[in-house]
Amino acid sequence: MNSIKELRQRCQYTKVGGDYIFHRLIYRKISIYLTKVLIKTPITANQVTIISIFVGLTGGLFLALGKSSFYLIGALLYNFSVVLDVVDGEIARYRGTSGMRGQYLDLLAHYFISASIFACLSFSLYKDLGNIYIIIFGFTAAISTVIAKTSVALVYHSAGMKRRGFFDISGNRQNFSKNRKTNSGIKQSIHKKTFSIERFYRKFIEELFCDLLIIMNLLIFAVLNIFLPPLRIFSYQLKFITIFFLFYGIFLPFDMIKKIIYTIYSDRFSIIYDELFKKDR
């Protein structure tokens, strides 16, 4: 029988590109115990991923009911879906069943769960406040999370299309590398000027808009919403769950636009292409 320590060594390696500290300090500390139970069953990693989607969407239903206690239950269910999201990867690594189908389901889970938070909250808060701007903020927040994730996935899709020769109308496969060399000097100079700002953004700001921090903040604000009275801001009294909703409703679209602009004007396409296919050339 594998001990917890042995399971951690076997199932919990650091992801490519790093891992959020909250994953290591909170969710991975919990997930390994559930993984230890599930590896004794016939439940597959992909089935755990599907369960995590339903758990997250069930959390959304509780958010839509519009009561403080239901907000807390919904937030707890969303956080449990994060634990399951970790568990599916641990089971896949333990059994050696990691694959593209599992990665696809995992990404699909992130799309559904992050968007459902704001869609469901907008429904309950609109019933509470009766303000049409609540629907607008909820829609923009939900669609922004989806578009931001899609913009990342499309970089890899574009690299794959390039590899298949989809953009090679002239048949000259050197255009891509030539264009990269032509633009590299300009891009490097821009990168040097913005390096410190970019580093600050990635270290302290960008994490606020990742799925994990959104779900953690949802739980924090749901707890505050129960135990503390509403805050008075100007002439409005706002519940903590409303403050959470408005913050992301306002700033998530800006984060989405920033990510798209950065992708377009950075060297990311050629970097990803080289990482994927440089060994084949």
140: containing domain: 4-280
β-bridge partners, 232 = 237
159-176 pLDDT, tens per residue? 888 888 877 655 444 444
Q: What is the pTM of this model?
A: 0.85
How many domains does one find in the chain? 1
Residue 133: how many other CB atoms lie within 10 Å: 12
Distance CA 127, CA 93 (A): 45
Higher-confidence position of 207 and 55: 55
The residue among 38 and 176 whose pLDDT is bigger is 38
Inter-residue contact 73 to 124 (CB < 8 Å): no
Average pLDDT over residues 241-253: 95
CATH code, 16: 1.20.120.1760
Strands 236-238 and 231-233: antiparallel
- Of 250, 261, 249, which Cα lies nearest the Cα of 142? 249
